[in-house]
Amino acid sequence: MQTHEIRERFLRHFESNDHTRVPSASLILDDPNLLFVNAGMVQFKPYFLGEVPAPYSRATSVQKCVRTGDIDEVGKTTRHNTFFQMAGNFSFGDYFKEGAIKQAWDLVTKPQSEGGYGFDPDRIWTTVYEHDPESAELWQKVAGLPAERIQYRDAKDNYWDMGVAGPGGPCSEIYYDRGPQYGQEGGPVVDEDRYLEIWNLVFMQDMRGDGSPKDGYPVLGELPSKNIDTGLGVERVAFLLQGVDNVYETDLVRPVIAAAEEFSGRTYGQNHADDVRFRVIADHARSGVMLIGDGVTPGNEARGYVLRRLLRRIVRSVRLLGVHEPVLPEFAAVVRDAMSPSYPEIERDFERISDVMRMEEDTFLATLSTGSKIFDMAAERAKQSGATVLGGDQAFQLHDTYGFPIDLTLEMAAEQGLEVDEEGFRSLMEEQRQRAKADAATRKSGHGDLSEYRAVLEQHGETEFLGYSDLEAGCRVVGLLSGGAPVPALSEGQRGELILDRTPFYAESGGQIADTGMLYGAGAQVSVLDVQKAVPGLSVHTVEVIAGDVGVDDKLTASVDEARRMSIARSHSATHLVHAAVRGAYGQRAAQAGSLNSPGRMRFDFTSPGSVSADVLSEVEEEVNDYLLQNVEVSSYVTSKDKAFELGAIALFGEKYGNQVRVIDMGDYSRELCGGTHVNRIGELGLVKLVSDSSIGSGVHRIEALVGTDALRHVRKEQLLVSELANTFKVPSDQLPDRISDVLGRLRDAEKEVERLRRERVLASAGSLAESARDIDGVSLVADTITEDVDAQALRSLVSEVRSRLGSRPGVVALFVADEQKVSFVVGTTPAARDKGLVAGDLVRSVGGPVDGRGGGKADMAQGGGSNPAGIGDAIRALERELRGAAG
């Protein structure tokens, strides 16, 4: 059975049991606790946490997931994967244990001819929580499982929670006995290779505090409504039903390995070392494609760093298989063909995905070249010192700073007859991992302080947003907080958080900053400083009481700062138009990667496969402003997500959309899913002026623009500047470029002439410097500080000239240039001096110490720099001692 069919059977089974089919969420949901979505229930967390009511009582989905905690283990075994698919069914206060067990058993054991998976019931085992005999009884009652195939386990294995305070509960896992050839008898508690877990049923019934029941902490009590959260491993079911030994041999993964075999000429299954590389390629290629498809781009932080690491591990593995040419786009195409039947967006967006992978591969190949040179230098130093081991700190620096994989370091070291201090390297890697875990633990406070907001939400419901049509409205205070704790009132001069039953204030989201304004009541004046969505559906106003008091249940008039709101709306509408124009110029690969809409100014980030042309950006600006002249109406409407996509609406990466979405139309030019505020007609923007563009990361470009009167002020300022320059240069403004270019050219020529004269003057001192040579045990030493302002090249030229004037005698020249904070120096030796063993590259080190610096170079000339000009005298004396020592 093909994997796509396994997914579809799961969804159809639960749809036939009155579950709503919910599409997979993006891998990069906005969750403070997660780098990537790592479980099927993540998109339903707000419902389980009680932050918002569930729109359905039953749901089913197949969620794409990425887990990155064991990246280094991927490939070494067949059990570790970064990308996987988790099929799940969910009940929000509807059916509970018996319903979940019955529906799971039906799907697992029902014949394939009737739409099930057709697993042999006699090979099914289950585990239950040691304090949950009810579930064991239900497996016997509903499924007819004999007691000897139901095993009890402790909380470490069979209790589930989110890792933070909130819902949790016992779970029951379904295992399939693969047969005696895979391990020992005795069920899952004895051997989890033979008895493979395929499905976990979580019975969410408890509320837990900060300490997890897994660690011996008691639960706080029962949830008011009991929920079901299950997760079936699609890939695991696939390799069982396809009669292969592991996920790497299934229909969605094996084709990538086949492509790697073709490129390398090697065969999977011949030796473990190559098999590890084949599996890394197959796993990471899938993960990379799926992450890029959801908007992640390679970078040096957070998600971007993980993606970069995955892609570079592919390149490393390919190289270790003997392939040195670029291959990532080819692997991406194989993944596309395998995965697009379930995820058609990969096919639609493949051009961009392929471009990102190609660019990252090109970057890394250049990094490998640099890393190889750094390694060669380190290896040469080690051998010169007589060492046979390359230090762990050097291997770690190659890995951490230059992105050079440890596997290649080990391989190249072996080629040079060296070992690597792997223990030292692993120790440094572990320190880095612990720092990362500490950072992750710090982030895991995302739900810790939300209980008061949830309490308001549960009691009063969601905040009704009026701001699409009204900027002033009557409202009632339903909650007040100060310092995170509820208070009955706020008095004059106090700051706090205020929650209204309805509000015209826009809460920051979707790149649009929050509204500000005032609240008025009986004798009260309250300034609204910020508005945020503390939990979904609840707008929390940060306020300062200007006059009077404000208390819970007070009726107020809310008034948004209209001028500021309209300025923000113009920026947001401009962002949509710029997005459309950029996509028109660069195609679908130019996808929005972030935005910021503030009063009069917008920022738009987009993915770009290469450099962004200034000419194209100029055309984008002209196109947008030409379209403004049409003054088309901006319309908004709510429709189904599928219908919106049929109409050509664009969705943004990482955003979570419900089944009903809000669409913003600006004629046929721009159509996007958006919850922000906009102008009524595009002519209200007046003018959009692009003021800067820059690269902010690998494949991500940023445009900043001014809108409306802010744009007009910018243009006027530029006009004034041009006028002043024209008056200064006494030419018409249209001749300024030529005039300025001419002046700059003459200035450069003058600077070159000044530099030539300076060098001539400096070189003219060569004779007197040579005459100042002192004899140090048979070696002529010229050591002095040059008072002229000379650069490094001029200083080298002077040393060379002085050295040549010393003739055939042994001679050493050391010249210094210093200012108040730093010193530069060059040391040169004559051939006769080198015959006596005086090497400039060695002498420069004795010079560097006294000036708190260092240097290096060749035998005839070396240079360096330091930060202690006061040490020049000591440096010259140190050089004299070196010469006497050499003579001795």
Dist CA 4 CA 748 (whole Å): 67
Poorest-pLDDT segment among 7-11, 444-448, 751-755, 849-853: 444-448
The pLDDT tens digits of the residues spanning 56-96 come to 999 999 999 999 877 878 888 887 889 999 999 999 999 99
Please give the average per-residue pLDDT across 516-533, as a whole number. Answer: 94
pLDDT of residue 679: 96
pLDDT of residue 631: 96
Q: The tokens of 339 are what?
A: 């995965």
pLDDT of residue 655: 61
Helices (H) then strands (E): counts for the chain: 26, 35
How many residues are present in the chain? 888
Please give the average per-residue pLDDT across 427-443, as a whole number. Answer: 66
pLDDT of residue 403: 65
pLDDT of residue 53: 83
Where does the pLDDT of residue 448 fall: very low under 50, low under 70, confident under 90, or very high at 90 and above? very low
Poorest-pLDDT segment among 252-256, 287-291, 724-728: 724-728
**Alpha-carbon distances, residue 752 vs 146, 149, 376, 788, 790 (angstroms):** 94, 89, 39, 17, 13
CATH homologous superfamily of 3-249 equals Bira Bifunctional Protein; Domain 2 (3.30.930.10)
DSSP classification of residue 2: -
Where does the pLDDT of residue 760 fall: very low under 50, low under 70, confident under 90, or very high at 90 and above? confident
**825-834 burial code (b ≥16 CB/10 A, e <16):** bbbbbbebbe
For the chain, percent of residues with pLDDT exceeding 90:
56
Please give the average per-residue pLDDT across 743-763, as a whole number. Answer: 84
Whose CA is closest to 685, among 575, 580, 592, 562?
Answer: 575
Please give the average per-residue pLDDT across 17-36, as a whole number. Answer: 86
The pLDDT tens digits of the residues spanning 859-875 come to 999 999 999 999 999 99
714 labelled binding-site residue: no
Beta bridge partners of 474: 557
Please give the average per-residue pLDDT across 732-753, as a whole number. Answer: 89
Whether the predicted model's global pTM rises above the 0.85 cut: no
**Alpha-carbon distances, residue 725 vs 729, 732, 744, 748 (angstroms):** 6, 10, 14, 20
Whose CA is closest to 814, among 834, 831, 795, 833?
Answer: 795
Please give the average per-residue pLDDT across 433-456, as a whole number. Answer: 61
Look-up: residue for tokens 């947008």? 624
DSSP classification of residue 247: G
Other C-beta atoms closer than 10 Å to the C-beta of 846 total 18
Q: What angle do CA 512, 518, 519 make, to 5 degrees?
A: 120
Poorest-pLDDT segment among 263-272, 596-605, 693-702: 693-702
pLDDT of residue 319: 87
572 labelled binding-site residue: yes
Q: Which residue has the higher pLDDT, 793 or 444?
A: 793
For the chain, percent of residues with pLDDT exceeding 70:
95
Q: Of 96-100, 268-272, 404-408, 437-441, which one has max mean pLDDT?
A: 96-100
pLDDT of residue 435: 67
Quickly name the fold that domain 766-887 has. Answer: Diaminopimelate Epimerase; Chain A, domain 1 (3.10.310)
Q: Which segments of 178-314 are extended strands (E)?
A: 195-208, 221-233
Please give the average per-residue pLDDT across 230-241, as a whole number. Answer: 95
Where does the pLDDT of residue 104 fall: very low under 50, low under 70, confident under 90, or very high at 90 and above? very high
pLDDT of 304 over the 90 cut: no
Q: Which residue has the higher pLDDT, 462 or 49?
A: 462
Beta bridge partners of 160: 169
Give residues with Cβ within 8 angstroms of 41, minimum separation 6: 48, 88, 90, 202, 229, 231
Where does the pLDDT of residue 674 fall: very low under 50, low under 70, confident under 90, or very high at 90 and above? very high
The pLDDT tens digits of the residues spanning 554-592 come to 999 999 999 999 999 999 999 999 999 999 988 877 888
Q: Of 169-178, 845-854, 876-885, which one has max mean pLDDT?
A: 169-178
Whose CA is closest to 350, among 423, 272, 293, 285?
Answer: 293
pLDDT of residue 446: 39
- 3-state secondary structure labels for all residues of 179-217: CHHHCCCCCCCCCCCCEEEEEEEEEEEEEECCCCHHHCC
Please give the average per-residue pLDDT across 823-827, as a whole number. Answer: 94
Sign of CA dihedral 412, 415, 418, 421: positive
Q: The tokens of 318 are what?
A: 């390919």
Type of residue at 857: G
Q: What is the CATH architecture assignment of 565-716?
A: 2-Layer Sandwich (3.30)
678 labelled binding-site residue: yes
Give residues with Cβ within 8 angstroms of 471, minimum separation 6: 504, 559, 560, 562, 565
Question: Within the chain, what is the greatest distance between any pair of CA atoms?
Answer: 108
Please give the average per-residue pLDDT across 835-860, as a whole number. Answer: 89
Where does the pLDDT of residue 364 fall: very low under 50, low under 70, confident under 90, or very high at 90 and above? confident
Whose CA is closest to 196, among 144, 237, 243?
Answer: 237
Please give the average per-residue pLDDT across 446-475, as a whole number. Answer: 84
pLDDT of residue 882: 87
Please give the average per-residue pLDDT across 833-859, as a whole number. Answer: 89
**Which one of 2.60.120.10, 3.40.50.1820, 1.10.10.10, 2.40.30.130 gives the CATH number of domain 451-560?**
2.40.30.130
Poorest-pLDDT segment among 6-20, 256-270, 479-493, 757-771: 757-771
Look-up: residue for tokens 């913003």? 664
Q: What is the mean pLDDT of the chain?
A: 89
pLDDT of residue 444: 41
According to DSSP, the β-strands at 20-21 and 58-66 are parallel
Dist CA 783 CA 814 (whole Å): 5
Where does the pLDDT of residue 384 fall: very low under 50, low under 70, confident under 90, or very high at 90 and above? confident
pLDDT of 23 over the 50 cut: yes
Q: Which segments of 786-878 are extended strands (E)?
A: 811-818, 823-829, 853-857, 861-866
Dist CA 80 CA 74 (whole Å): 5
pLDDT of 405 over the 80 cut: no
pLDDT of 807 over the 70 cut: yes
